[in-house]
Amino acid sequence: MTPSYPKSKVFYRRLDKEFRRVVSAEGATIVDESGRRYLDASGGAMVANVGHGLEELAEVLAEAARLGFVSGAQFTHRYVEELAQELAEVLPESLQHSYFLASGSEAVEAAVKMARQYWVEKGRERKWKVISRVPSYHGNTLTALSLSSREHYRKIYGPLLNEFPSIPAPDTYRHPDSDASSGEVLEAAIQESDPETVAAFIAEPVIGSSAGAMVPRSDYYERTQEICRRHDVLYIADEVLCGMGRTGRWFAFEHFGVVPDILVLGKGLNGGLAPLSAVVAKLEIVEALARTSGYFNHAQTYSHTPVICAAGLATIRYLKRERLVERCDSMEKPFFERLQELRSFEVVGDIRGKGLLAGVEFVADRTTKEPMPRADRFAERFTSRAFDNGLIVWPNIGHVDGTRGDLVMLAPPFSVTPEEISEIVERFGQALE
Ligand SMILES: Cc1ncc(COP(=O)(O)O)c(C=O)c1O
C-alpha cells in the first residue's frame, strides 16, 4: 500500500497526494511497487543525464563512503582532486578552479558572495547588486529566490527577499526582435542602477524550466558580455540545469562564443547520485582572493567532501568514457524532428531547445500566442495525465507574465534510444488527446 500523510511520518513535498513507491530504476525507466513502468523523459528534475541505476557509479560512491566524513577545512582527498582535474580538462583555460558545494541554490548563493568578495578585495566596496532576468530561476534559498522571477514560489516570502534589479529575459518565441532578445536592455539596467554598484549579471545561457528551454539569439551573450566588461560587471552563468552536456556541449555557454567569469554547476554534475554543485571561478578571481584574504569567505560543512565529490567524479568519467555529450549532440536532430509531430495538436504553440533539452509550450491560440487561461491549470493537468500514462515530464507555469504560461520540459538521459524517443512522443500525444 502506498503510504501517505498523515499516516506516514514523512513530511512529503505534497501533503495532498499519494506518492507511488519506487522499487527499481534503470536507464530511462522507473518501476513502482505495483510493477508499473514509467518512461522518465525529464530525468526527474532535469538531473539524471546518465540515466538511472548505474551499478558502477554506485560502487564509486560506496568506496568514497568508506572514508567517512572528511572536512574540506582540514584535508584534501582523491575524489575532490580528481573531480576538479576532470572538470578542468573540459573547461576553458581561463576557468579552471572549482569550489564544491551541495545544491544548486547553495552554489548560486556562493557565486553571488564570490562576486561580492572579489570586488571588495579589489577596493570596489560599493559593488554588490546582481542583475537577473524575468523570467528566471536560480534556486529556492533566499538570495537565489530573490534573483528568481518565479512568482508562485516568491509570493508568501516577499518580506524575506532582497530587492535586486532585473531585465526582461530574451524571448525568441514572442519577441524575437526586442531589446530584451538582443541583450541591449542590460545597458540601461546597469546605467539606472549606477554601474559602480553593480557586481554581476546572472543568467542561464540556455534558459531552463522558467522559460521552457528558451535558446537566446546567437549574438545575445556577446552583446551582454561586452556591456558587462565596459561596466566592470561579472557574468555569472547559471548552468545548474543546462550544463554538463545537456545542450550537446559540455557547457551551454560554448554555443555562444563567450566564457563567463563565474560558472555554476549542479544537477547533471552529480548524475543524481548525491547533492553536488560547483562554483567555477576564472583565474583572475581566484588569484585576487588568494592575494588578499587567502580564501573564499564561505564555509559549509559538506563542501568538498568525499561522497558528493565521488558522485561527480563517477559521473564525469562515465560521460567521457561513453562519449555521452557527443551522443547528446548527435541525438538533437532526431529528437526535435520527432517532437515536431506534436505540432499537429492545436494547443502546442512552440517546441524549442538544444541538445536533449526541450520545452513544449501550450497556448490557447497559436496565431496570437495567447497563453492558456491560468484557471485551466493545463500544464499541471497534462503532467498528471502523462504520469498516469507512464510518461514523466516536468511542468512549469507563469513564464509569460508571472501568472500565465504553461509548458513542460523534456530532458531524457543522453543514452535515450530512437525507440524511447518514439515512445515519448507517442505517450505525449496520448496525454494531450
Ligand atoms: C538554473 C537553476 N539554478 C539553480 C537551481 C537550484 O538548484 P537546487 O534545486 O539544486 O538547489 C535550479 C534548480 O532547478 C536551476 O534550474
CATH number at residue 26: 3.90.1150.10
261/244 Cα distance (integer angstroms): 17
Ligand 1 centre to CA of 92 (Å) is 23
Pair (127, 252) in one structural domain? yes
144/279 Cα distance (integer angstroms): 14
Ligand 1 centre to CA of 276 (Å) is 11
Pair (314, 368) in one structural domain? no
Please give the grid coordinates belonging to residue 216: 537566446
Ligand 1 centre to CA of 368 (Å) is 32
Pair (348, 219) in one structural domain? no
Pair (278, 151) in one structural domain? yes
Ligand 1 centre to CA of 45 (Å) is 9
Domain interval for residue 44? 22-53+324-432
Which of 101, 267, 396 for mutating ligand 1's site (highest number of atoms within 8 Å of CB)?
267
Pair (74, 45) in one structural domain? no
Residue nearest atom 13 in ligand 1 by C-alpha distance? 139
311/79 Cα distance (integer angstroms): 9
Ligand 1 centre to CA of 104 (Å) is 5
Pair (284, 370) in one structural domain? no
The pLDDT of residue 4: 86
237 near 89, Cβ under 8 Å?
Answer: no
353/222 Cα distance (integer angstroms): 20
313/319 Cα distance (integer angstroms): 10
What lies within 8 Å, CB to CB, of 236 at 6+ separation is 108, 111, 112, 115, 130, 200, 201, 202, 203, 260, 261, 262, 263, 264
167 near 191, Cβ under 8 Å?
Answer: no
* Long-range contacts, 22-29 (Cβ 8 Å, 24+): 24/53, 25/52, 25/53, 26/51, 26/52, 26/53, 27/51, 27/52, 27/53, 27/413, 27/415, 28/52, 28/412, 28/413, 28/415, 28/416, 28/420
The pLDDT of residue 2: 72
Residue nearest atom 16 in ligand 1 by C-alpha distance? 241
Ligand 1 centre to CA of 268 (Å) is 11
Pair (171, 66) in one structural domain? yes
35 domain-assigned: yes
113 near 144, Cβ under 8 Å?
Answer: no
390/170 Cα distance (integer angstroms): 34
Which residue's entry shows cell 524511447?
A: 420
Q: Which atom of ligand 1 is found nearest the CA of 103? A: 10
Pair (311, 337) in one structural domain? no
Q: Domain ends where: 284, 301, 321? A: 321
171/173 Cα distance (integer angstroms): 5
The closest alpha carbon to 96, from 284, 268, 317, 323, belongs to: 284
Residue nearest atom 3 in ligand 1 by C-alpha distance? 138
Number of neighbouring beta carbons within 10 Å of residue 243: 28
Pair (334, 310) in one structural domain? no
Which of 241, 263, 308 for mutating ligand 1's site (highest number of atoms within 8 Å of CB)?
241
CATH number for the domain harbouring residue 132: 3.40.640.10
Give the three-state DSSP class for 335: helix
259/118 Cα distance (integer angstroms): 18
Q: Domain ends where: 274, 290, 321? A: 321
Q: Which atom of ligand 1 is found nearest the CA of 204? A: 1
| CB burial string 209-229: b at 16+ within 10 A, e below | bbbbbbbbbeebbebbbebbe
Q: Which atom of ligand 1 is found nearest the CA of 141? A: 11
The pLDDT of residue 3: 76
415 near 51, Cβ under 8 Å?
Answer: yes
Tell me how many degrees the CA angle 21-407-28 measures, rounded to the nearest 5.
Answer: 40
Give the three-state DSSP class for 423: helix
Ligand 1 centre to CA of 246 (Å) is 14
Give the three-state DSSP class for 339: helix
Ligand 1 centre to CA of 319 (Å) is 21
79/60 Cα distance (integer angstroms): 10
pTM for the model stands at 0.98
Which of 103, 140, 240, 357 for mutating ligand 1's site (highest number of atoms within 8 Å of CB)?
240
Q: pLDDT in tens for each of the 433 residues of the chain?
A: 577 899 999 999 999 999 999 999 999 999 999 999 999 999 999 999 999 999 999 999 999 999 999 999 999 999 999 999 999 999 999 999 999 999 999 999 999 999 999 999 999 999 999 999 999 999 999 999 999 998 889 999 999 999 999 999 999 999 999 999 999 999 999 999 999 999 999 999 999 999 999 999 999 999 999 999 999 999 999 999 999 999 999 999 999 999 999 999 999 999 999 999 999 999 999 999 999 999 999 999 999 999 999 999 999 999 999 999 999 999 999 999 999 999 999 999 999 999 999 999 999 999 999 999 999 999 999 999 999 999 999 999 999 999 999 999 999 999 999 999 999 999 999 999 9
Helix boundaries (H) for 194-260 = 220-230
Please give the grid coordinates belonging to residue 63: 568506496
Please give the grid coordinates belonging to residue 154: 516568491
Sheet of strand 198-203, all strands in order from the earlier edge strand to the far edge: 95-101, 277-282, 262-265, 234-239, 198-203, 129-134, 166-168
The pLDDT of residue 150: 87
80/72 Cα distance (integer angstroms): 9
265 near 205, Cβ under 8 Å?
Answer: no
152 domain-assigned: yes
Tally of domains within the chain:
2
Which of 105, 141, 153 for mutating ligand 1's site (highest number of atoms within 8 Å of CB)?
105
Task: Report the pocket of ligand 1 as residue ranges, CB < 6 Å.
Answer: 45, 103-105, 108, 137-139, 204, 208, 238, 240-241, 266
Ligand 1 centre to CA of 266 (Å) is 7
213/319 Cα distance (integer angstroms): 22
131/183 Cα distance (integer angstroms): 13
Could you tell me if residue 169 is left (phi over 0), alpha (psi between -120 and 50 degrees) or otherwise beta? beta
16 domain-assigned: no
Ligand 1 centre to CA of 139 (Å) is 5
Pair (47, 71) in one structural domain? no
Pair (237, 90) in one structural domain? yes
Ligand 1 centre to CA of 198 (Å) is 23
Helix boundaries (H) for 122-173 = 142-146, 151-154
189/196 Cα distance (integer angstroms): 12
Pair (39, 121) in one structural domain? no
Which of 138, 150, 263 for mutating ligand 1's site (highest number of atoms within 8 Å of CB)?
138
Residue nearest atom 4 in ligand 1 by C-alpha distance? 138
9 domain-assigned: no
